[in-house]
Amino acid sequence: MTPVSSTEVRDDRILPFTRVVAAAVIVVLVFAFIVLFVLPGQTDRRFAWTIHPSMTAMLMGAGYGSALYFFVRVLTERRWHRVGLGFLPITVFTWMMLGTTFLHWNRFRHGSFPFDLWLWVYLATPVVVPFVWLMNRSHDPGSLEVRDAMFAPMIRRAMVATGAVLGAIAVWMYLDPEGTVAVWPWGLTTLTARAIAAFVALPAVAWLAIAADGRASAATAVLDTVAIGLVLLLVAVARSWHDFHHANVLTYVYFLGLVATLAAIATLRVSMFRRIEDGDAARSDPKSVA
């Protein structure tokens, strides 16, 4: 038997099974996005449980809408490392959603198609998503692309700090949903507090994963996914402004946080491009070669 070399294994390809999973997830995400973001007032008939107010439904829809973009990238991408980091936050998200389902079992619309779909999705994805990551990760070469760059140490430390803060918020919301309901800038239930905690955990783990990896090429799809989610959230805020408690200072903290994070991602993308361009210039300059 001919041994398989490390270069043959680490070919950075995306396995066919991964693309099949991505295609199946896309179908579910389209349904979730339409119901929650486009038709947030119809969750009593079209979703696994009734959600009030519409801002909560639209927040969830924004998350699923951004995930739709990510899985389209998985379906069409050629290199695994460009999308691989996204599977880590999604894994944590699915675990939290499965736990939320069982913790609030009596709140769901049992016997309805939306609930059956929800249940099967969150029974399967907590296993399938990490399995996909484990199967593909051995194909990641762990090296930079030809046109690539590493994030500066200061930026990576800022990512860790951001991820840690968001992670702490997600843990607090999940473990103390009653406390979350008491201070949140729009009306929640303990069920929706835990569901939102799962969505907060997504960017928390994403920032930590990007910081740990460090490659700009590995971060782009995840950063774009988060940015799309933020844009959709700002649209949701505009559509559901009447749902907010305007006397609550967290209303304005939430809005400004969305804007500031989106601006930070835009700045980061520009700095990534400049760092790559500087690397190209250094490689093309013979005097830079020792």
Is residue 33 over pLDDT 50? Answer: yes
**Per-residue pLDDT tens over the stretch 46-75:** 999 999 999 999 999 999 999 999 999 999
pLDDT at 84: 97
- What mean pLDDT value characterizes the chain? 93
Count: domains in the chain: 1
**Per-residue pLDDT tens over the stretch 144-195:** 998 899 999 999 999 999 999 999 999 999 999 999 999 999 999 999 999 9
CB 150 within 8 A of CB 215: yes
Does some domain include residue 2? no
Q: What are phi and psi of 37, to 5 degrees?
A: -95, -40
Confidence grade of residue 290 (pLDDT, cut at 50, 70, 90): very low
Look at the pTM and tell me if it is higher than 0.85.
yes
Per the DSSP assignment, residues forming a β-bridge with 186 are 244
Q: Spell out the residues 6+ positions from residue 276 whose beta carbon is closer than 8 angstroms to its own.
A: 147, 148, 149, 216
Q: Is 274 or 177 the better-scoring residue by pLDDT?
A: 177
Does some domain include residue 1? no
Is residue 273 over pLDDT 50? Answer: yes
pLDDT at 203: 97
pLDDT at 287: 58
Range of the domain at 147: 8-282
Does some domain include residue 41? yes
Confidence grade of residue 271 (pLDDT, cut at 50, 70, 90): confident
Q: What are phi and psi of 186, to 5 degrees?
A: -145, 170
Does some domain include residue 288? no
Does some domain include residue 109? yes
Does some domain include residue 29? yes
**Per-residue pLDDT tens over the stretch 216-253:** 999 999 999 999 999 999 999 999 999 999 999 999 99
Neighbours of 83 (CB within 10 A): 24
Is residue 283 over pLDDT 90? Answer: no
pLDDT at 4: 44
Distance CA 223, CA 150 (A): 15
CB 41 within 8 A of CB 192: no
Pick the closest to residue 209 from 185, 193, 230, 225 (CA basis).
225
Confidence grade of residue 274 (pLDDT, cut at 50, 70, 90): confident
Is residue 282 over pLDDT 70? Answer: no
Does some domain include residue 37? yes
Confidence grade of residue 7 (pLDDT, cut at 50, 70, 90): very low
